Chains A and B, each alone.
Chain A
């Protein structure tokens, strides 16, 4: 029952068991040998007195061989982009090119200390400058900071910039408007920047409701945080009007660039009225997600916000690149040093590999793939918004829910078919959402397999809902007791 002839993408195979590394530890095993000390040894008890540490508790003692096997075995329990389609909506799980990894590891770059003198940091500074210029061109903005470490960090930076700018005009204002379809990071960010959050509802097309915006926009509102295309994958067709309403009352338009993969090379936020925006290099520009980071969240701005950018900024002085710290209007640092430089290298390598035509084709393929899935699954799953899709499509579980099958159940069953699930239950404006973003990295063959798998699960929802409720079956572990985990948290191993 758990397996069937419609599961074509995967077969089960032997998966190695492996305990926690602490359970392999025993005294005397080592995975290192240090070079002999070439200076006199120091007695730590003499040097440090009573703060000298005697014991490192339960840190493991294992050999190198065991370490390689341990982390290799663990790795095989993960699904990854390298295995196949990873259609998490809003997360843009695209191919991570190998050359990016190679160049990020070059000695002169990976070994560069952030405080080494500027005269021997010219290569690093050139990377920062080149990437900055290219991202500014891609976004149609005027200036950029690469300092933020991730998307949410970029949001904070962007809203602090808005605040500093408005303050310089005499009034930082009180509120930030956020659509009900927004990522949770948006309201959390606005709160951290000292703003009240005011909810803005979406209209029947899933877009910003203009009358509501007009009614809610006033001199107390600092700006609007807008994701475009929105989280339902729809381009805000009234974007020009939205910007106009904000600007007419002195507010700013912030764009959450999470969905920039739908626009690169086809449209530029700076051209449609955006004042400040962040990018997620780990989404649009292919730096690897790494199981949850590191990311990188550059913030691009229009000219009037430039004086407020975090310090330092890269400048050219007498034909050499330098870091400028003296910027009196700056919001200050948002991170030590200059941001996630290793991610900057990877993003730049990605842009170089693509060029203008490659980036455009990439965006076209991303939109093509999403629309192909939409076409093939429309009717099989409920499509709550008929507005045209860009890079992602959002269905709901309405048709399956009548048999007791929810989006989360469909997701779990999809795992048995060899796919990572889509984004479950988001955005919140769609009840029981299935948010699918294939990205450009999927071949027609992979997409067809996904479509067939989705159809097969939909059929099972009709014929055998119980089967779905207990999925997945073919994984190392079955559904986890998440309630139990939260009720009595066990957050570390104990001997």
Chain B
């Protein structure tokens, strides 16, 4: 009979025997004696046998093939198909990055700590905010946490959320706050796709902690942040801005009037990966720092006066404050934040702008081409790389037809916004060629 082994385990049968002997037990089962007999599993788990590395790769290749490759992609809606410079994977594949733990021991984690410090700095530069945290799970949970942060800061309970915020973000928010005595009101959008300002004014009360909007919003339209801020601040409420397409900040002024920004950073070098892992981040004003959720890295010195970095202000966090913490978040998205950091470094001050300009141009061209056969909605306001098209034909039918031509078309919106009829949300990035856009536009009518 073949001796049992598993290739990740660095022990020979002799090692195991010797260790058992030194512990002073007869067999490994003796070490499991604390588990009452009736609860011990006396059979193999009903899962497939050990597989060879080649078999594992083969299995996943088959799954990848079932998904299909080689499609041109026009989906955005919170997950964006941007080019990923190869330096990202080359660097994060170093074991020192991906097999390290949270940097609780700063003397042997300066790499991770400095990288997070650089990430926080770049997020500040990009968003125009004074401070940023080390990352959140993603944009949707980040938005919910930003809302809860506003409630803590103002001591008020009610919140107002724009319907033009990503529908799944709103679902997550509803789940998060349902038992926290935080009622929220949704406000609709006007004919230009932006928040209906009159409805917003009417929705805010003296108990409103904050107004949450997304910009560019779910329809790709850029909100009038200054006007929104004025309305919110007039009543003592904070303005929270959620940003799902981080690259928009390459060409659109950051929402400087906001009090809290919650951003999804997936656009910056993070694979689509069927929806995750991504990374969110919360940026805000310095005076709000004690209420920010999640980890923070700060600069300090060692005993010899040498510059270095540590996790700081942890008295906000669950491992110290327990039920009184700002959030229950512990693990965040450090490796994804590192991808984002490398991406921002590769493109930098000039590249993010150039790239954003290309996105702006591609979407503008597509809008013009799609407008020939179909109606482009919400054209009265500025937008970045997404737009909504209304068609005669059902959007799901169009999508199916496009799939046959190796095109993944826009997202049908009927599920989220039935009032828009046969509408779909399209996105063009630097990766969509003119040829692809022309081919898609021909089919959308």
Contact = CB atoms under 8 A, between A and B. Distances in A.
Q: Do A and B bind each other?
A: yes
B13 to A, nearest CB: 11
A204 interface: no
Nearest to A294: B277
Nearest to A372: B19
Interface in B84-131: 85, 87, 89-91, 93-112, 114-115, 117-118, 120-122, 124-126, 130-131
B93 A362 contact: no
B15 to A, nearest CB: 5
Interface in A168-221: 172, 183-185, 187-195, 197
Interface string A341-364: 111010001011111111111101
Given A35-B430, A109-B64, A337-B274, A62 B345 contact: yes
A486 B298 contact: yes
A237 interface: yes
Nearest to A66: B345
Contact of A477 (B272, B308, B325): B308
A341 B63 CA distance: 13
B63 A109 contact: yes
- Which of the listed residues A56, A109, A189, A355 has the most CB atoms from chain B within 10 Å of its own CB? A56
A47 B57 CA distance: 47
Contact of A72 (B5, B91, B350): B91
A440 to B, nearest CB: 6
A155 B323 CA distance: 13
Contact of B437 (A39, A78, A106, A119): A39
Given A74-B114, A235-B35, A149 B50 contact: no
Interface in B374-428: 382, 399-400, 403, 408, 411, 415
A127 B63 contact: yes
B262 to A, nearest CB: 13
B291 interface: no
A493 to B, nearest CB: 5
Contact of B348 (A61, A362, A371, A493): A61
B439 interface: no
Contact of A120 (B71, B110, B251): B71
A76 B178 CA distance: 45
A257 interface: no
Interface in B288-346: 289, 295-304, 306, 308, 310, 312-315, 317-325, 327-336, 338, 342, 344-346
A44 B10 CA distance: 59
A352 B295 contact: no
Contacts, number: 681
A48 B382 contact: yes
B364 interface: yes
B121 A362 contact: no
A261 B180 CA distance: 34
Contacts of B274: 109, 112-114, 121, 124, 337-338, 341
B108 A345 contact: no
Contacts of A355: 47-51
B189 interface: no
B155 to A, nearest CB: 17
A292 B102 contact: yes
B161 to A, nearest CB: 14
B33 interface: yes
B333 A188 contact: no
A167 B36 CA distance: 33
Contacts of B40: 266-267
Given A368-B16, A480-B310, A64 B346 contact: yes
A113 to B, nearest CB: 5
A411 to B, nearest CB: 7
B235 interface: no
A428 to B, nearest CB: 9
B312 A482 contact: yes
B360 A47 contact: yes
Nearest to A39: B365
Contact of B101 (A86, A116, A194, A375): A86
Interface in B203-234: 222
Contact of A290 (B97, B169, B272): B97
A150 B295 CA distance: 15
Contacts of A109: 60, 63-64, 67, 273-274
B355 interface: yes
A342 B273 contact: yes
B174 interface: yes
Contacts of A294: 137, 276-277, 279, 331-336
A150 B175 contact: no
Contact of A78 (B112, B314, B344): B112
B423 to A, nearest CB: 15
Contacts of B135: 293
Interface string A304-342: 000000100000000000000100000111111111111
Given A52-B252, A53-B250, A485-B300, A333 B171 contact: yes
Contact of B110 (A22, A77, A440): A77
B193 interface: no
Contacts of A379: none
Nearest to B180: A194
Given A67-B342, A99-B53, A291-B97, A22 B118 contact: yes
A97 interface: yes
B305 to A, nearest CB: 9
A29 B282 CA distance: 30
Contact of B349 (A59, A64, A185): A59
A432 interface: no
Contacts of A362: 6, 8-9
Given A71-B115, A120-B71, A151-B331, A44 B357 contact: yes
A435 interface: no
18 contacts: A20-B114, A25-B349, A57-B125, A67-B342, A75-B97, A149-B277, A160-B178, A184-B317, A184-B325, A192-B179, A266-B32, A289-B102, A289-B331, A333-B172, A356-B49, A358-B8, A486-B314, A490-B298
Given A354-B6, A479-B107, 14 more contacts: A60-B344, A74-B115, A99-B53, A115-B75, A126-B66, A127-B60, A194-B181, A197-B323, A290-B97, A291-B109, A332-B174, A341-B277, A444-B19, A492-B121
